[in-house]
Chains A and B, each alone.
Chain A
Amino acid sequence: MSSTTHTSTIGAIGAPSRRNTELGLLVFAVLIPIFAYANVGLAIDGTMPTGMIGYGLGLGLLAAVGHLVVRKFAPYADPLLLPLATLLNGLGLVLIWRLDQSERLQQLQERSFGAFNPAAPNQLMYSAVGIALFVGVLLLLKDHRILQRFTYISMVAAMILLLLPLVPGLGTDVFGAKIWIRLGGFSIQPGEFAKIVIAVFFAGYLMVKRDALALASRRFMGLYLPRGRDLGPILVIWAVSLLILVFENDLGTSLLFFGMFVVMLYVATERTSWIVIGLLMSAAGAVGVASTAGHVKARVDAWLDPFGCYATSGACEQIGQSIMAFGSGGVLGTGLGQGNSDLIGFAANADFIFATVGEELGLAGVMAFLVIYGLIIERGVRTALAARDPFGKLFAAGLSGAFALQIFVVAGGVMGLIPLTGMTMPWLAAGGSSVIANWALIAILIRISDTARRPAPAPAANPDAEMTQVVRP
Chain B
Amino acid sequence: MSELTLTVMRLCFLAVLWLFVFVAIQVIRSDLFGTRVTQRGARRGADARPAQGRQQAAPTPPRQQSGGGRQRRGAPSKLVVSEGTLSGTTVALQGQTITLGRAHDSTIVLDDDYASSRHARIYPDQGGQWIVEDLGSTNGTYLDRTRLTTPTPIPLGAPIRIGKTVIELRK
Q: Is B17 an interface residue (CB 8 A)?
A: yes
Most buried by A among B10, B16, B85: B10
A390:B56 contact, CB within 8 angstroms:
yes
Interface residues as binary, A17-31 with B (CB distance below 8 Å gives 1, 0 otherwise): 010010001001100
Chain A residues whose CB sits within 8 angstroms of the CB of B41 once the complex forms:
4-8
**Minimum distance in angstroms from B122 CB to a CB of chain A:** 11
The answer on a CB contact under 8 Å between A28 and B20 is yes
Is the beta-carbon distance between A12 and B31 smaller than 8 angstroms? yes
Contact call B24/A25, Cβ cutoff below 8 A: yes
Which residues of B sit under 8 angstroms from A29, Cβ to Cβ? Answer: 20
Any A CB within 8 A of the CB of B5 = yes
B73 close to chain A: CB less than 8 A: no
User: Cβ of A84: which chain B residues have Cβ within 8 Å of it?
Assistant: 24
B21 near A335 (CB under 8 angstroms)? no
Contact of B9 among A14, A39, A465 (CB under 8 A): A39
Residues on the B chain within 8 Å of A473, using CB? 150
| A378, CB-defined interface residue at 8 Å | yes
Q: Quick check: B38 and A145 within 8 Å, CB to CB?
A: no
Bound-complex Cα distance A21 to B123 (A):
44
Closest to A459 in B: B62
Chain A, residue nearest B151 (CB): A472
Evaluate contact between B151 and A470: CB separation under 8 angstroms.
yes
Q: Tell me the complex Cα distance, A32–B20, Å.
A: 9
How far is A17 from B27 in the complex, measured between Cα atoms in Å?
Answer: 13
Q: Are B35 and A12 in contact (CB under 8 A)?
A: yes
- Which B residues, 57 to 98, have Cβ-Cβ distances below 8 Å to chain A? 57, 59-60, 62-65, 85-86, 96-97
**Does A167 have its Cβ within 8 Å of any Cβ on chain B?**
no
Nearest residue (CB) in B for A460 is B62
Smallest CB-CB separation from B126: which chain A residue?
A: A470
**Minimal beta-carbon separation of A94 from chain B (angstroms):** 10
CA distance A21 to B23 in the complex (A): 10
Query: Contact check: which of B6, B13, B28, B50 meets A36 at CB < 8 Å?
Result: B13
Asked if A166 is at the interface of the complex by the 8 Å CB criterion, the answer is: no
Size class of the contact patch on chain A: 35 or more
CB distance from A142 to the nearest CB of B (A): 15
> Which one of B14, B27, B50, B63 contacts A333 once the chains associate, using CB atoms below 8 Å?
B14
Residues 26-43 of chain B: 1 if any A CB is under 8 Å from the residue's CB, otherwise 0?
A: 011001001111111110
Contact status A39-B13, CB under 8 Å:
yes
Q: Does B11 contact A (CB under 8 A)?
A: yes
**Contact indicator B24/A83 (Cβ below 8 Å):** yes
**Chain A residue contacts of B21, Cβ below 8 A:** 368, 371-372, 375
Per the bound structure, the CA–CA distance linking A87 and B20 in Å amounts to 9
B14 and A361 within 8 A (CB): yes
Compute how far the CA of A368 lies from the CA of B14 in the bound complex, rounded to whole angstroms. Answer: 8
How many chain B residues touch A (CB < 8 A): the figure is 57
Q: Which residues of B contact A12 (CB under 8 A)?
A: 31, 34-35
Q: How far is the CA of A473 from the CA of B134 in the complex (A)?
A: 13
CB-defined contacts of B11 to chain A, threshold 8 Å: 332
Q: How far is the CB of B39 from chain A (nearest CB, A)?
A: 5
- CB-based contact A211/B10 at 8 Å: no
Please judge, given known A-B contacts A6-B45, A335-B7, A391-B56, whether A11 and B25 are in contact too, CB under 8 Å. Answer: no
Q: A5-B46, A375-B28 are in contact. Are A333 and B36 (CB under 8 A)?
A: no
- Does B13 contact A9, Cβ atoms closer than 8 Å? no
B146 at the interface (CB under 8 A from A): no
**Per-position 1/0 for A439-469, Cβ under 8 A of B:** 0000000000000000011111010111010
Assuming the contacts A1-B85, A6-B41, A211-B49, asked whether A470 and B125 have C-beta atoms less than 8 A apart, the reply is yes
Contact of B45 among A5, A16, A472 (CB under 8 A): A5
Q: Is A284 an interface residue (CB 8 A)?
A: no
Contact B40 A378 (CB under 8 A): no
B23: chain A residues within 8 A (beta carbon): 25, 28
Inside 8 A of B64's CB, which chain A residues have their CB? 459
Query: Nearest A residue to B1 by beta-carbon distance?
Result: A46
B residues near A364, Cβ cutoff 8 Å: 14, 18
**Does A68 lie at the interface of the complex (its beta carbon under 8 Å from any beta carbon of B)?**
no
Contact B60 A80 (CB under 8 A): no
Bound form: Cα–Cα A6–B87 in Å: 9
Q: Give the chain A neighbours of B59 by CB distance below 8 A.
A: 457
A79 located at the interface, meaning its Cβ lies under 8 Å from any Cβ of chain B in the complex: yes
List chain A residues, Cβ under 8 A from B28. 80, 375, 378-379
Pick the residue among A6, A80, A372, A456 that contacts B39 (CB under 8 A). A6
Least CB distance, B145 to chain A, in whole angstroms: 23
Cα A207 to Cα B48 in complex, Å, equals 11
Q: A379 CA to B27 CA in the complex, in Å?
A: 11
Pick the contact of B18: A7, A211, A368, A390 (CB < 8 A).
A368
Kindly state whether residue A125 has any CB partner on chain B within 8 Å.
no
How far is it, in angstroms, between the C-alpha of A457 and the C-alpha of B10 when the chains are bound? 50
Interface centre among B5, B52, B151 (most CB of A within 10 A): B52
Separation of A334 and B10 alpha carbons in the complex (Å): 8
CB distance from A385 to the nearest CB of B (A): 10
Residues from chain A with Cβ under 8 Å of B49 in the complex = 4, 211
* 8 chain-A/chain-B pairs, Cβ below 8 angstroms: A6-B41, A10-B35, A16-B34, A28-B23, A35-B12, A372-B20, A372-B24, A391-B56
- Closest CB pairs A-B (n = 3): A5-B45, A335-B10, A459-B62
* 14 further A-B pairs in the complex, CB-CB below 8 A; given A8-B37, A459-B62, A466-B96: A7-B40, A11-B38, A13-B35, A21-B27, A42-B6, A43-B9, A80-B27, A84-B24, A211-B49, A361-B13, A362-B14, A372-B20, A390-B55, A390-B56
Interface of B with A (CB < 8 Å)? 1, 5-7, 9-14, 16-18, 20-21, 23-25, 27-28, 31, 34-42, 44-46, 48-50, 52-53, 55-57, 59-60, 62-65, 85-86, 96-97, 111, 123, 125, 131, 150-151
